[in-house]
Structure 1
Amino acid sequence: MKRIAIFLSILLIVVFVGCSSQRVKPSTNIIFNSYEQYFIDSVLQVGLENEALFTLLGDLKPMSSLVTFNYPIANNDSTKNSSSKILDRAIHGKYLDRLQTVVNAINKSNIPDLQLILIPYQTPQKKSRILQLSVVRKSSLDSLLKAKEEFFGQFGLVPGTDPNVVVSTIECSDRFERWRGYGYLFGYPDYAVDFFVNAFLETESTGKFVERSAFRIPTYSMPEAGNFVYTYPKGHTPTAEVDSVIYHKGVRILDNYKTMRNKYLNSDSTVQSYKLLQDYYKSSVKRK
């Protein structure tokens, strides 16, 4: 993991802005070059060993974050808002080239029912544009859009909509709709999503922070604390019908990954993550 952290800290000088997304199209019979293979294996290992596991190897979360990119290419000069010339290739080209290598690797990935998406955050951070690389389980997303059509339908989002469109729409929505939309996409239970949104409404009205507790599901990197986390009202008791079901389903997915992981270790203890996932889904098809 140390090698991965160093790699990501160099490459993932993270992000870009806007209400659009990099188009990600799965392709077949395309071979990664050595850099692309290392990049894909690295980001997928980060996901498998954290909360994205529950999207990559299960249907507990329709979407999970993988890594974030941050590039100093944002326009922070309001006098240039109407200009078509914002960036200087001599200064900013190296950042766009790095982003291009990321997009090329993403576009070559092809894992059944999973789609990697690169979404620019709507709001820039001074000179930085931030993009979030996430993974979406398309079948789970379709089920969510149907189950929560009273919410997602207002945006014209229905089952079968491209994940890039869904997430970009939520990213560029009103902040409360954005929080609710992301809560559903990240697999939090309804009561936790309601609490999260209402707590911010209350804080905005009263200026006081709303006390809360956290429910945690263990992951490979954090077996005790867990980094699949959602919050609920202080004093609320988690229930067997909702929270325990999520917890035990998460533990089963984690145990499955632990069983598979050692079969895909490299000599430097990194994981052949892409091969692990492809083999898993090939075997799943054979079992059906």
Structure 2
Amino acid sequence: MVVGLAVASCQVSRPFTTLQNSDRALADSMLAYALDHEAVYTLLDTIKPVSSVKFLRFPVAKTSFMKDGDHQVTPGDSLPALALQYARICAELSKGDHQFVMMPFAQKEGHMRNIEIYVVRKSRFSSLIAQHAAFFGQWGFTPESDPATVLPVIEYESRHDRNRGYGLLFGYPLYAVDFFVTANQTVEKDTTIKLVPRDFFAIPVYAGNKGHFTYAMPKGHQPSEIDSMIYRRAVHTLDRYKAQRPKYFTSGGLKAIALWRNWNKKP
């Protein structure tokens, strides 16, 4: 059942050697993509408290012919073994300051359910909850709250609380989160406005300089010191990753687990 995927995470430290060979190959592939995109700033840094790692899509959602409360929703084979494998990998990779959470989206498309794997930097996540206690406290969340509980609550909340929650958790500066929420509220109130004018601030990742770790800002807004600080720190981490990456690249692809594991080890 998809419900079980919402908490497919574990905070117990485990050695990476417990990964089965087939799981290790898939985990390497998953982390390689994550490191080449914005999750590098969660896996190798603390810039982003939470980052997306893997997008999945399975035919498990209710159809239009099913009623609220129906018990027989998904056939036994509708959730493929791949989903169980990713759930197992999330548990095995959740180690130290990192936690992997496999979470179904609230919105469905026909009988398809989208599921996202997130990686959480737990220390940064906790400090963020404390910093924005006035917002996250409405659900009783504290710095000790489990990310596997917090993330689904935010996902299934009303539109504007969902946007604010995700904006903060994904590491965007407060002014950008405020602008995004207010802009959506404005469009909601005034149907003659399709989109509040905006500019974008893009932080580069290995996969490209734009369209990944990017956030909206008011039209004409000049980047502030907080934007510059995030940018400089990100580029420093990215440059270091670019220098390390070739050392872990083989004919079979990037050995991402080894790179991640050795990141903070002294030469």
Say yes or no: TM over 0.5. Answer: yes
Partner of residue 6, structure 2: 21
The amino acid across from 2:126 in the alignment is D
Q: Take 1:235 and 1:17, find their aligned partners in 2: how far apart are those partners?
A: 44
Q: Say which of 143, 149, 158 aligns to 1:165.
A: 149
Does 2:174 align with 1:190? yes
The structure with the largest strand share of the pair is 2
RMSD: 1.9
Q: Say which of 77, 82, 86 aligns to 2:64.
A: 77
Shift, 1:98, TM fit: 2.2
Q: Take 2:29 and 2:4, find their aligned partners in 1: how far apart are those partners?
A: 27
Shift, 1:80, TM fit: 3.3
Partner of residue 58, structure 1: 45
Shift, 1:82, TM fit: 2.4
Does 2:216 align with 1:231? yes
State the aligned residue count. 263
Shift, 1:151, TM fit: 0.4
Q: Take 2:36 and 2:82, find their aligned partners in 1: how far apart are those partners?
A: 25
Unaligned 5+ segments in structure 1 are: 1-15
Q: Take 1:113 and 1:68, find their aligned partners in 2: how far apart are those partners?
A: 22
Does 2:66 align with 1:40? no
Answer yes or no: is the 8 Å Cα contact 2:13–2:96 preserved in 1: no
For residues 103-252 of structure 1, the aligned pairs below 5 Å read 103-207=87-191, 208=193, 209-222=195-208, 224-225=209-210, 227-239=212-224, 241-252=225-236
Q: Take 2:78 and 2:4, find their aligned partners in 1: how far apart are those partners?
A: 23
Answer yes or no: is the 8 Å Cα contact 1:114–1:136 preserved in 2: yes
Q: Take 2:181 and 2:2, find their aligned partners in 1: how far apart are those partners?
A: 24
Q: Take 2:33 and 2:244, find their aligned partners in 1: how far apart are those partners?
A: 16
Shift, 1:19, TM fit: 10
Normalising by the residue count of structure 2, what TM-score does the alignment of the two structures yield?
A: 0.92
Partner of residue 271, structure 1: 254
Instruction: Detail structure 1 runs of 4+ shifted over 4 Å in the superposition.
Output: 16-20
Answer yes or no: is the 8 Å Cα contact 2:52–2:117 preserved in 1: yes
Q: For residue 218 of structure 1, give the secondary structure of its aligned residue in structure 2.
A: strand
Q: Take 1:112 and 1:277, find their aligned partners in 2: how far apart are those partners?
A: 12
Normalising by the residue count of structure 1, what TM-score does the alignment of the two structures yield?
A: 0.86
Q: Bigger shift: 200-209 or 188-197? A: 200-209
Q: Quote the sequence identity (%).
A: 34
The amino acid across from 1:210 in the alignment is V
Q: For residue 254 of structure 2, give the secondary structure of its aligned residue in structure 1.
A: coil
Shift, 1:77, TM fit: 3.2
